[in-house]
Amino acid sequence: MFVASEDYNDVGLKLDDRLIKRPAATFFLRAAGSEPDADIKDGDLLIVDRAEPPAPGKVIVAVVHGEMLTRRLPPGWREDDGLEVWGVVTFVIRAP
């Protein structure tokens, strides 16, 4: 049976489906400097979801004195400890 090729345009794996849960809330940032504790290396592409709830152990982008900085939330972190969370880093993309 002949099937028009457009019918298969959506077939295949798309990274967006895997890495971006909420497109409206997801932003790409670039790491400037390495941070072993957060598994981030200089130049990494960071996928940041502003809608993802922050939790201890997650890597976040925080706003400290007006600057956006990455850090891993410590085990005892709680929502009300005053740290301004910009978004949660959900994936890190880098060449090996």
Partner 1 sequence: MPAFALVDCNNFFVSCERAFRPELEGRPVIVLSNNDGCVISRSEEAKALGIGMGAPFFEVRAIVIEHKVASISANHELYVDMSRRVCSVLARHAPVVENYSIDESFLTFPDDHKLEARAHAMRAEVRRWTGLPVAVGLAPTKALAKLGSDKAKKGSGVLSLLDAGIREALLDETPITHIWGIAKRSALRLAPYGIRTAGDFTRARDALIQSTLGIGGLKLAHELRGTSCLTLAGVPAARQSVTVSRSFGKPVYGFEALNSALATFAARAAERARRHGLRAGELGVHFGWREDDRPVMDGDSVRLAPTNDTPTLIRAAKALAERLFVEGRPYKKAGIVLGALEPADTAQSEFFDDGSAEKSTRLSKMVDRLNAELGPYTLRYGGEKSSTAWSSRCDSQSPCWTTRWEDLKTVRPAV
Residue from the set 67, 76, 82, 96 that interacts with partner 1 by CB under 8 A: 67
The correct pick among 68, 78, 79, 93 for binding partner 1 (CB under 8 A) is 68
With beta carbons less than 8 A apart as the criterion, state whether 24 and 18 touch: no
Q: Is 30 in the site for partner 1 (CB under 8 A)?
A: yes
CB of 13 to partner 1, least distance (A): 21
What is the per-residue burial (b if ≥16 Cβ within 10 Å, else e) of 57-78? ebbbbbeeeeeeebbbbeeebe
Residue 93 found at the interface with partner 1 (CB under 8 A): no
